[in-house]
């Protein structure tokens, strides 16, 4: 076996990755970084001016989305701390994309056998220094509990696994389902980019829900248990009492305007301990939308901003003491149709609307309140970014549905389904006016209003309903109260697997697309486990239908040992996405910037791996940064 030893010099063993169609090496090794925080002052950005009005430079001010005094600290509940969960809970490992290396955190070591095949076992060593906020040790029981929880919730990581077993207080053994692409397995296990997996399942707190889910006899029973858990609320006082966190900072005080998080004095990871964090408090401010975030920067009211995009005029107003880093993502946004609601369950009606939207794609792009460096158009609805479309679909993409027929083709499709238009207004076959609601949160107000105007101008009266983010995530989405909504789609990694797994399986409830296409399997809401659709051949939207098991194609991608093995399955899933048209997109990629204050704080260089790993709010602190400027 090849073991993940702790490198003394910060660099582990070299990774061997699959080549362009070449054979994969029998043994798969990963570089694992250790001691990264020891880079020293030489790597710090040399910006030590005084640009902030902060009265307490040892308090790092960050952003949050929800109202601080309305937070539910149940990590499986509604209205959680959101992005702050990446500070409250620990992560398994983080990926340095430029260096193609994993940085260990909660999972300190893992090792593969010389032959990665069905029945092979992978050993994971957990770092033994982690504790929950009430002092309980984080053990393999908690880790295995979360893996079991992920299994009963159809998490994609279980496409790679047959079993998970606790073999010691801090050791876990996983049994592989088949020969797999180990990089994809690690991506699914740990998460990549701005979406790392938070290890938040405290076994003694959530054990009852887990065991009830495992013994539930029907999808309805499982849905009821999940609903019960989602409605369970834990207070700020219960965070410490129950130990609801294991990260570097613990929530301590909340008002309408801020949430304070105090350094967890018992925190340690493989790189640092709490003593190496040179500030005691994080102050989280509820900031929503570019204008609020810009105001906080102009007034020097924040030290680190997560996932924001300004237009050129806004960016020019940012004080000089702030630097930014940009993160290219292969994900963006789609306009998603709720197939539970007629006539959106009619595929041809969705095709018609997508032709209308595609005809005004430029208008949608122009009206985004983002600069050119923060947005990128995607010209084919296939669930992937344009670079991935070009790489994985090649010339096959020309056979996909382009939705480029404009309003003329849209009208033809609607009339073919019995719709009529009088004085510029469309009516359903039963004579009722064809109207839609496009419901979304304030942070998507511009694109929601623009798309609604485009559809209304075509004659489908569409009402743009903008709600607070807390209402959107707490009511609109759980209650599926929308005809159309914007939703995040795409890939967090350059191989189109995780995104398809997430959007076609885990988040199928967003569109309930099996209700809107011929399906050989039954739709049971979030409890749906089979996804067998009836789909025509690639390039033949009106062709003879054949059964396509989406899970089989996902498994083939996960087990493929070369791009040539994976390519036909990626193309089949991309074609299904394109043909079903339950989500038009992604039509734009969101290329986020993150800002951080270099006046009162010293950070690593902007081009360092630490700063190039999203996000500045939660990752540098795990390496001992930032430090107050002197």
Reading the block at residue 91, the tokens are 């992560």
Q: What is the mean pLDDT of residues 514-520?
A: 97
Q: Is the pLDDT of residue 426 over 90?
A: yes
C-alpha 242/C-alpha 326 separation (Å) is 37
User: Model pTM?
Assistant: 0.76
Q: Which of 227-236, 242-251, 287-296, 562-571 has the lowest mean pLDDT?
A: 287-296
C-alpha 308/C-alpha 596 separation (Å) is 12
Which range is most confident: 21-35, 99-113, 461-475, 564-578? 564-578
pLDDT at 22: 29
Q: Would you call the peptide bond into 317 cis, given omega within 30 degrees of 0 as the criterion? A: no
Reading the block at residue 254, the tokens are 């909340």
Q: DSSP label at 138?
A: P
Q: What is the mean pLDDT of residues 57-86?
A: 90
Percent of the chain with pLDDT over 70: 90
Q: Is the pLDDT of residue 517 over 70?
A: yes
User: β-strand 435-441 against 461-467: which pairing, if any?
Assistant: parallel
Inter-residue contact 579 to 354 (CB < 8 Å): no
Q: Which of 19-33, 191-205, 277-291 has the lowest mean pLDDT?
A: 19-33
pLDDT at 182: 85
* Confidence band of 47 (pLDDT split at 50, 70, 90): very low
pLDDT at 492: 67
Residue 371: count other Cβ atoms within 10 Å of its Cβ.
17
Helix, strand, or coil here: 298? helix
pLDDT at 506: 87
Residues whose CB is less than 8 angstroms from the CB of residue 106 and which lie 6 or more positions away in sequence, other chains included? 90, 91, 92, 93, 126, 127, 130, 138, 143, 199, 246, 269
C-alpha 628/C-alpha 10 separation (Å) is 25
pLDDT in tens, 387-406: 899 999 999 999 999 999 99
Helix, strand, or coil here: 120? coil
Inter-residue contact 274 to 559 (CB < 8 Å): no
Q: What is the mean pLDDT of residues 184-204?
A: 90
**CATH class assigned to 330-590:** alpha beta
CA atoms within 13 A on the CB side of 458: 29
pLDDT at 57: 54
Q: Is the pLDDT of residue 284 over 70?
A: yes
Residue 142: count other Cβ atoms within 10 Å of its Cβ.
26
Distances (CA, A) of 357 to 339, 353, 414: 18, 6, 15
CA 385 to chain centre: 15
Domain 60-229 has CATH 3.90.76.10: yes
pLDDT in tens, 286-301: 987 778 899 999 999 9
DSSP for 423-491, please give it: TTEEE-TTS-B-EEEEEEEGGGHHHHHHHHHHHHHHT-EEEEEEE-HHHIIIIITTTT--SEEEEEEEE
Q: Which of 33-37, 138-142, 433-437, 523-527 has the lowest mean pLDDT?
A: 33-37
Helices 347-359 + 406-416 axis angle, to 10? 170
Mean pLDDT over all residues of the chain?
87
Residues whose CB is less than 8 angstroms from the CB of residue 337 and which lie 6 or more positions away in sequence, other chains included? 344, 350, 353, 483, 484, 511, 516, 581, 582, 583, 584
Which range is most confident: 173-182, 218-227, 386-395? 386-395
- Any idea where the domains of the chain sit in the sequence? 60-229, 330-590
CA 67 to chain centre: 21
pLDDT at 48: 28
* Confidence band of 374 (pLDDT split at 50, 70, 90): confident
Distances (CA, A) of 518 to 132, 483, 532, 537, 576: 48, 20, 9, 14, 12
Higher-confidence residue of 372 and 13: namely: 372
C-alpha 598/C-alpha 549 separation (Å) is 52
Q: Which of 42-51, 312-321, 545-554 has the lowest mean pLDDT?
A: 42-51
Q: What is the mean pLDDT of residues 24-31?
A: 28
Q: DSSP label at 360?
A: T
Q: Is the pLDDT of residue 427 over 90?
A: yes
Reading the block at residue 300, the tokens are 């020097």
Q: Which of 45-49, 161-165, 352-356, 424-428 has the lowest mean pLDDT?
A: 45-49
Q: Which of 28-42, 228-242, 418-432, 530-544 has the lowest mean pLDDT?
A: 28-42
Residues whose CB is less than 8 angstroms from the CB of residue 445 and which lie 6 or more positions away in sequence, other chains included? 289, 464, 466
Residue 3: count other Cβ atoms within 10 Å of its Cβ.
13
Inter-residue contact 233 to 72 (CB < 8 Å): yes
Q: Which of 222, 268, 312 is nearest to 526 (CA)?
A: 222
Q: Please state the φ and ψ torsions of residue 111, each to the nearest 5 degrees.
A: -140, 140
C-alpha 305/C-alpha 83 separation (Å) is 11
pLDDT at 11: 28
Inter-residue contact 214 to 347 (CB < 8 Å): no
Q: Is 147 left (phi over 0), alpha (psi -120 to 50) or beta?
A: alpha
Inter-residue contact 444 to 477 (CB < 8 Å): no
3-state secondary structure 18-81: CCCCCCCCCCCCCCECCCHHHHCHHHECCCCCCCCCCCCCCEEEEEECCCHHHCCCCCCCCCCC
C-alpha 557/C-alpha 493 separation (Å) is 14
Q: Which of 82, 92, 40, 39 is nearest to 62 (CA)?
A: 82
* Confidence band of 605 (pLDDT split at 50, 70, 90): very high
Which range is most confident: 67-71, 217-221, 537-541? 537-541
CA 516 to chain centre: 25
3-state secondary structure 143-155: HHHHHHHHHHCCC
Q: Please state the φ and ψ torsions of residue 261, each to the nearest 5 degrees.
A: -125, 125
Higher-confidence residue of 604 and 25: namely: 604
* Confidence band of 443 (pLDDT split at 50, 70, 90): confident
CA atoms within 13 A on the CB side of 553: 24
Helix, strand, or coil here: 555? helix
Distances (CA, A) of 474 to 198, 283, 443: 20, 24, 15
Percent of the chain with pLDDT over 90: 65
pLDDT at 50: 33
pLDDT at 56: 53
């Amino acid at each position: 076996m090849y073991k993940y030893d702790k490198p003394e010099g910060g660099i582990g063993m070299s990774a061997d990755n699959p080549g362009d169609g070449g054979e994969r090496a029998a043994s798969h090794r990963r570089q694992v970084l250790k001691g990264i925080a020891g880079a020293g002052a030489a790597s710090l950005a040399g910006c030590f001016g005084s640009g902030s009005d902060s009265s307490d430079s040892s308090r790092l001010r960050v952003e949050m989305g929800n109202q601080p005094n309305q937070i539910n600290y149940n990590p499986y509940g509604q209205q959680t701390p959101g992005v702050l969960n990446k500070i409250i809970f620990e992560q398994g490992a983080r990926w340095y994309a430029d260096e193609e290396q994993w940085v260990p955190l909660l999972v300190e070591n893992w090792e593969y056998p010389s032959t990665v095949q069905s029945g092979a076992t992978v050993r994971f060593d957990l770092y033994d220094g982690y504790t929950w906020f009430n002092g309980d040790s984080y053990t393999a029981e908690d880790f295995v509990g979360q893996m079991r929880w992920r299994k009963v919730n159809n998490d994609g990581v279980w496409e790679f696994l047959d079993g998970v077993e606790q073999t010691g207080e801090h050791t876990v053994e996983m049994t592989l389902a088949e020969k797999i692409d180990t990089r994809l397995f690690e991506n699914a296990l740990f998460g990549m980019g701005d979406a790392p997996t938070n290890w938040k399942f405290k076994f003694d707190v959530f054990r009852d829900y887990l065991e009830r889910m495992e013994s539930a006899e029907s999808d309805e029973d499982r849905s009821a248990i999940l609903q019960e858990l989602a409605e369970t609320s834990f207070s700020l006082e219960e965070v410490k009492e129950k130990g609801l966190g294991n990260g570097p900072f613990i929530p301590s005080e909340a008002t309408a305007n801020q949430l304070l998080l105090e350094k967890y004095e018992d925190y340690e990871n493989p790189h640092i301990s709490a003593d190496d964090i040179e500030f005691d408090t994080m102050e989280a401010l509820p900031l929503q939308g570019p204008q609020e975030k810009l105001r906080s920067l102009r007034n020097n009211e924040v030290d680190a901003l997560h996932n924001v995009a300004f237009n050129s005029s806004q960016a020019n107003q940012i004080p000089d003491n702030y630097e930014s880093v940009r993160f290219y993502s292969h994900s963006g946004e789609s306009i998603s149709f709720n197939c539970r609601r007629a006539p959106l369950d009619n595929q041809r009606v969705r095709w018609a609307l997508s032709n209308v939207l595609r005809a005004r794609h430029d208008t949608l792009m122009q009206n985004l309140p983002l600069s050119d460096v923060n947005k990128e158009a995607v010209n084919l609805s296939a669930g992937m970014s344009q670079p991935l479309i070009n790489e994985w679909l090649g010339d096959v993409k020309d056979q996909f549905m382009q939705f480029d027929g404009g309003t003329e083709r849209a009208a033809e499709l609607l009339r073919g389904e019995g719709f009529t238009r009088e004085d510029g207004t469309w009516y359903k076959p039963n004579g009722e006016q064809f109207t839609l609601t496009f419901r979304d949160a304030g942070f998507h107000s511009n694109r929601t209003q623009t798309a609604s105007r485009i559809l209304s101008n075509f004659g489908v009266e569409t009402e743009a309903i903008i709600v607070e983010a807390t209402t959107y995530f707490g009511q609109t989405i759980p209650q599926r109260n929308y005809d159309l909504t914007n939703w995040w789609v795409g890939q967090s990694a350059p191989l189109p697997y995780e995104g398809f797994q997430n959007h076609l399986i885990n988040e199928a409830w967003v569109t309930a697309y099996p209700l809107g296409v011929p399906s050989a399997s039954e739709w049971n809401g979030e409890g749906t486990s089979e996804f067998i659709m009836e789909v025509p051949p690639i390039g033949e939207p009106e062709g003879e239908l054949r059964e396509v098991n989406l899970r089989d194609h996902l498994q083939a991608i996960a087990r493929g040992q070369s791009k040539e093995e994976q390519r036909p399955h990626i193309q089949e899933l991309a074609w299904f996405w394109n043909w079903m048209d339950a989500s038009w997109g992604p039509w734009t990629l969101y290329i986020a910037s993150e800002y951080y204050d270099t006046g009162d704080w010293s950070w690593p260089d902007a081009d360092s791996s630490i700063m190039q790993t999203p996000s500045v709010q939660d990752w540098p602190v795990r390496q001992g940064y930032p430090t107050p400027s002197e």
